[in-house]
Amino acid sequence: MGNLLKVLTREIENYPHFFLDFENAQPTEGEREVWNQVSAVLQDSESILADLQAYKGAGQEIRDAIQNPNDIQLQEKAWNAVCPLVVRLKRFYEFSIRLEKALQNLLECLTCPPYTPTQHLEREQALAKEFAEILHFTLRFDELKMRNPAIQNDFSYYRRTISRNRINNMHLDIENEVNNEMANRMSLFYAEATPMLKTLSNATTYFVSENKTLPIENTTDCLSTMISVCKVMLETPEYRSRFTSEETLLFCMRVMVGVIILYDHVHPVGAFCKTSKIDMKGCIKVLKEQPPDSVEGLLNALRFTTKHLNDESTSKQIRAMLQ
């Protein structure tokens, strides 16, 4: 009996159990300053997503211009179609920089001594909720970006044209908006399959390397605790019944998957090996118990945007679950 109790206690230690109020968490006085800073960034997230969803691209105009290189009117038409789109892409890119800073502010609060990551997430639920919202946004942004090849086509055309015009010594107003240095940075950002996730991974890795006195475990434990809390809330009827909306369930699933992917990119050996603090089988099982249309995109995110799934250290069982 004593041994069984030890095993159960160890399991509870490994996988923290508490309810994180994603619907109503309000900042305490101690959280308010950082909460306000992050909130100011997040208030633009929905308009960024709506803008990205409405992004149609200038494919036809670009094709016409390329096929008729001597037709000045078609060249101008393509250029005039692409320029406002590039300004829009710059807005998305600049938002990623603001999001990076917001994430680092949150990590600072949620990992600092004397509290453990579990105590932080339990005590500072409004900050934990903002952290979750950043991950939720990231997955939605990257999903939309991956489905829209026009973004890279438009930007490539823009860069080719501006280089050609520079050779011809033409000055263009758009260069005040997107100069060469900015275009280079944007190009690296949009070359990524999942640019927002890459931004967050880099931000988290940078946070760990800059805070040399803070053990990396504080950061990875913060992530694994968030994963565990989402999984427990999804699989525990008592917790699920406290959500007032189906949307919160989907939010919880997206956050769980987003944090798994982030953990897998940041942790030296990733999320899938036996020594990781994540109940990976439990997380996949929870997803597979949901209606297929609401989780197929999330399962694909685990299949295709994680870093360590195909490592030798990943068990065959986990790989089979994701096939």
Number of domains composing the chain: 2
| The pLDDT value given to residue 8 | 31
137 occurs within a structural domain: yes
- Asked if residue 235 and residue 156 are part of one domain, the reply reads no
- Asked if residue 178 and residue 267 are part of one domain, the reply reads no
120 occurs within a structural domain: yes
pLDDT digits (tens, 9 = 90+) for 71-126: 989 998 999 999 999 999 999 999 999 999 999 999 989 888 888 888 888 888 99
Query: How many secondary structure helices (H) and strands (E) does the chain include?
Result: 17, 0
- Asked if residue 282 and residue 137 are part of one domain, the reply reads no
156 occurs within a structural domain: yes
- Asked if residue 167 and residue 229 are part of one domain, the reply reads no
- Asked if residue 35 and residue 103 are part of one domain, the reply reads yes
With a CB cutoff of 8 Å and minimum separation 6, the contacts of 278 are 224, 227, 228, 260, 263, 271
Q: At which of 158, 193, 228 does a domain end? A: 193
108 occurs within a structural domain: yes
- Asked if residue 300 and residue 228 are part of one domain, the reply reads yes
| The pLDDT value given to residue 119 | 87
Coil, strand or helix at 273:
strand
Domain of residue 85, residue span: 23-193
Average pLDDT over residues 35-53: 96
| The pLDDT value given to residue 9 | 34
210 occurs within a structural domain: no
- Asked if residue 241 and residue 298 are part of one domain, the reply reads yes
112 occurs within a structural domain: yes
6 occurs within a structural domain: no
| The pLDDT value given to residue 243 | 85
pTM value is 0.87
| 298 touches 287 (CB < 8 A) | yes
Is the pLDDT score of 198 beyond 60? yes
- Asked if residue 274 and residue 164 are part of one domain, the reply reads no
- Asked if residue 238 and residue 149 are part of one domain, the reply reads no
With a CB cutoff of 8 Å and minimum separation 6, the contacts of 177 are 86, 87, 90
Residue 198: its H or E element: helix 195-210
78 occurs within a structural domain: yes
- Asked if residue 188 and residue 39 are part of one domain, the reply reads yes
- Asked if residue 223 and residue 162 are part of one domain, the reply reads no
Q: At which of 193, 227, 261 does a domain end? A: 193
- Asked if residue 166 and residue 238 are part of one domain, the reply reads no
pLDDT digits (tens, 9 = 90+) for 142-156: 999 999 999 999 999
Q: What are phi and psi of 146, to 5 degrees?
A: -65, -25
User: Rounded CA gap, 32 and 253, in Å?
Assistant: 27
User: Rounded CA gap, 185 and 129, in Å?
Assistant: 30
